[in-house]
Amino acid sequence: MMPTTKILSALIPPWWSRYQQRFIGNDIVAGLIVALMLIPQGLAYATLAGLPPQYGLYASLLPVVLYAVFGSSSVMSVGPVAITSLLTASALAPLALTANDYVLAAALLAFMSGVFLFLAGVLRLGALAQLLSHPVITGFITGAAILIIISQLKPVFGVSVHGENTVALVLALIAALPTANWLAAALGIIGVGALLLSRKYTVSLLIKIGVASNIARTIQRLVPMLLLLLGAALVFVFDWQTKLAVVGALPDGMPTFAMPTFNSSWFEHLWVPAIVIGLLGFVESISIAQSFAQKKREPLDANAELRALGAANIGSAWAGGFPVTGGFSRTLVNAEAGAHSPLAGVFSAGFVLLALWFATALFSFLPITLLAATIISAAVQLVNISAFRHAWRYDRSEGGAMLGTAGGVLLMGVEVGIGIGVALTLITLVWRASRPHIAVVGLIPGTEHFRNVTRHRVETNDKVLMLRVDENLFFGNAESVASEIITAHTQHTHCHDVVILMSSVSRIDVTALEMLHRLNDDFRLRDIRLHLAEVKGPVEDQLKESDFGTELTGEIFLTAYQAFQKLSGNS
């Protein structure tokens, strides 16, 4: 058995050994600033997820601590974020649960998602995140952000409407406008406006009046908290709690810590959403971690990140919380507030806990419409229209995948949207590879280099046809490659030597190998020799193992230049 000290030392995270006492002041300050930003976010995202607001704080306690133990990024801040909160709501809605069961099911969902992530990390599946293309991710985030904005218009206008789908919901919202609570609406709209404007102008204004830029940025981060406090003060002073929805009395203190109760019917409905939430949360978190790791020149281990996010979600579930992941704005604040280590996150969790003990009375006056305003202003940032323009311009099919994902998420739900995006991406991949570029090439005079005859001034020889195939040979293009080669030869009927330049071919599958056999036989009958050149090492090994190497009527040349010299009779 492993000695206990060894087990303990395995649990001590790597950054701890590098920790210096003089960091602690910075970490405490960063922890406080982050906590002051996290508290309104947590309360708001819990309502987005369909839970009572305090669950957002419960979900902010353990994840940061557990991430600090398992994670590899020193500034990452893990907790409730907009996207996973929306995914939680859309996973739980079809179950039609009572309020009590809803809370339990959300914790189960976080637990399942955590187990999936942790196992994926143990199985070293970190590369999985690569399988979602950026257009699909961007399309998904934009679609989800628009969904979030639409869903938060309900609390802003103080109406309670439902819609089978997004279009129906928007129509129902418009129809319900005459019954809107205009006090809530005014407060909410002013809130959104204030938050959006403050994000744009606070820092420059403060700098203009002489505030140091880092302090100005800190103040800007506290605007949401100040806005909520102002809103609560207004409610308290004018007795608005009778006129609009407020958070109301929250239970004081710690949540009950317990593993979520297992329910097989919930499990059956939730395992697909749990995996989707885990995967998308991971994709979001790892891309944030990557950009910060690059700036700080820190190593990043995708599998450690998977395990850390898994542990964070299990921790969230243990405190009765809901799915969490690394968030961009919270991580940015953490980094800018001067955090030196994950200890800052632990301090911020401590401050959240203090708020849970001492400030719940304050929260009870918070108007719900301002929580919704917080969410909307965060979601607006996630909508990325210029990315659509860029992707569309660079490549129509990628723009199409992005639009398809966003549209699918908006109109048919999150999972269908991502399914559409992935399917479009895969179809494009196979489709592109199925119509490979095949160039007739010639020698660039004075070099040993061969390029496309239609793009460059090159030497050719009537007796030798040199063709470059710009794609791996596989089932998707075997037939079209064969027919293009035959077609190219019909335009050079005097050639009795055809050389295929394999510089772009890294793999030949069984289907393509059969095609090469047939092409070789076909050319043999017409007295044409088939040669290969610039065959890569791994492909040469594969060809040698099959019997194609011996059946080939021509030769396998190391370089195209050698082939050209020998077959033209120059050497």
Shortest distance in whole angstroms from residue 159 CB to a copy of itself? 39
Q: Which is nearer to a copy of itself, 26 or 434 (CB)?
A: 434
- Binding test (CB under 8 A) with a copy of itself, winner from 272, 430, 445, 459: 430
Nearer to a copy of itself, 162 or 455 (CB): 455
Q: Which is nearer to a copy of itself, 437 or 463 (CB)?
A: 437
Give least dist CB 394 to a copy of itself, A: 6
Tokens of 534: 């610039």
CA nearest neighbour of 327 among 64, 533, 91, 76 = 76
Q: 153 to 182, contacts with a copy of itself by CB under 8 A? A: none
Q: Of 434, 460, 461, 553, which lies in the binding site for a copy of itself, with binding defined by CB under 8 A?
A: 434
- Residue in 336, 484, 522, 555 binding a copy of itself, rule: CB under 8 A: 522
Contact 368, 155 (CB under 8 A): yes
Beta bridge partners of 469: 438
With residue 437 as reference, give the H or E element that holds it.
Answer: none
CA distances from 187 to 230, 293, 296, 374 (A): 11, 39, 41, 12
Indicate the residue among 23 and 561 with the shorter CB distance to a copy of itself: 561
Q: Does residue 296 bind a copy of itself (CB under 8 A)?
A: no
Transcribe 504-541 into DSSP letters: T---B-HHHHHHHHHHHHHHHHTT-EEEEES--HHHHH
Q: Considering only 91-99, 122-130, 191-199, 350-358, which stretch makes contact with a copy of itself by CB under 8 A?
A: 122-130
What is the DSSP pairing of strand 464-469 with strand 450-452?
Answer: unpaired
Q: Are strands 464-469 and 438-443 parallel, antiparallel or unpaired?
A: antiparallel
Using CB under 8 A, pick the residue from 389, 396, 437, 463 that binds a copy of itself: 437
Sheet holding 464-469, edge to edge: 450-452, 438-443, 464-469, 497-501, 529-533, 556-557
Q: Does 503 bind a copy of itself (CB under 8 A)?
A: yes
- ∠ CA(104), CA(321), CA(98), 5° rounding? 30
Single out the residue of 54, 88, 113, 133 in contact with a copy of itself (rule: CB under 8 A): 133
Nearest distance from C-beta of residue 424 to a copy of itself, angstroms: 12
Binding-site member from 67, 322, 347, 474 for a copy of itself (CB under 8 A)? 474
Q: Which of 384, 452, 460, 520 binds a copy of itself (CB under 8 A)?
A: 452
> Per rule CB under 8 A, is residue 457 in the interface with a copy of itself?
no
C-beta neighbour count of 550 within 10 angstroms: 8
Among 436, 458, 465, 530, binds a copy of itself (CB under 8 A): 436
Under the criterion CB under 8 A, does residue 135 sit at the interface with a copy of itself? yes
Contact segment (CB under 8 A) with a copy of itself among 225-233, 244-252, 308-316, 532-540 equals 532-540
Please state the closest distance from residue 10 (CB atom) to a copy of itself, in A.
25
Which pair of tokens denotes residue 358? 């001492």
555: contact with a copy of itself by CB under 8 A: no
- Is 511 a binding residue for a copy of itself by CB under 8 A? The answer is yes
Q: Is there binding between residue 101 and a copy of itself (CB under 8 A)?
A: no
Residue 131 binds to a copy of itself (criterion: CB under 8 A): yes
Alpha-carbon gap, residue 520 to 440, rounded angstroms: 19
- Alpha carbon separation from 9 to 13, 234, 308, 341 (Å, rounded): 8, 52, 17, 18
Q: How far is CA 425 from the centre of its chain?
A: 15
**Shortest distance, position 391 Cβ to a copy of itself, whole Å:** 5
d(CA 244, CA 183): 7
Stretch in the footprint of a copy of itself (CB under 8 A) among 20-28, 131-139, 170-178, 217-225? 131-139
CA distances from 514 to 49, 467, 468, 554 (A): 55, 19, 19, 17
The two structure tokens encoding residue 161: 């409407």
Helix residue spans in 239-301 (DSSP H) = 264-296
Q: How many residues does the chain have?
A: 571
Q: Which of residues 383-422 bind a copy of itself (CB under 8 A)?
A: 390-391, 393-395, 398
Q: Is residue 506 part of the contact set for a copy of itself (CB under 8 A)?
A: yes
Residue 278 interacts with a copy of itself (CB under 8 A)? no
| DSSP secondary structure letter of residue 75 | S
Query: Any contact of residue 429 with a copy of itself (CB under 8 A)?
Result: yes
Task: Please list, in sequence order, all residues whose beta carbon lies within 8 angstroms of the beta carbon of residue 247, skipping any fewer than 6 positions away.
Answer: 43, 53, 363, 364, 365, 366, 368, 371
Distance separating alpha carbons of residues 362 and 366, to the nearest angstrom: 7
For position 186 contacting a copy of itself by CB under 8 A, the verdict is no
Among 241, 461, 480, 553, binds a copy of itself (CB under 8 A): 480
The greatest distance separating any two alpha carbons of the chain, rounded to the nearest whole angstrom, comes to 99
Q: Is 478 in the site for a copy of itself (CB under 8 A)?
A: yes
User: Closer CB to a copy of itself, residue 60 or residue 425?
Assistant: 425
By CB under 8 A, residue 18 contacts a copy of itself: no
Choices 15-23, 103-111, 230-238, 440-448; region in contact with a copy of itself by CB under 8 A: 440-448
Question: Can residue 475 be called a binding residue for a copy of itself (CB under 8 A)?
Answer: yes
Pairing mode, strands 325-326 and 78-79: antiparallel
Give the DSSP per-residue string, 380-396: HHH--HHHHHHHHHH-H
Is residue 490 within the footprint of a copy of itself (CB under 8 A)? no
Q: Which residues are CB-neighbours of 245 under 8 A, at least 6 positions away? A: 155, 158, 184, 367, 368, 369
Q: Which residues bind a copy of itself (CB under 8 A)?
A: 127, 129-135, 290, 294, 390-391, 393-395, 398, 425-426, 429-430, 432-434, 436-437, 439, 444, 447-449, 451-452, 455, 470-472, 474-480, 503-507, 509-511, 513-514, 518, 522, 536-538, 542, 545-546, 558-559, 561
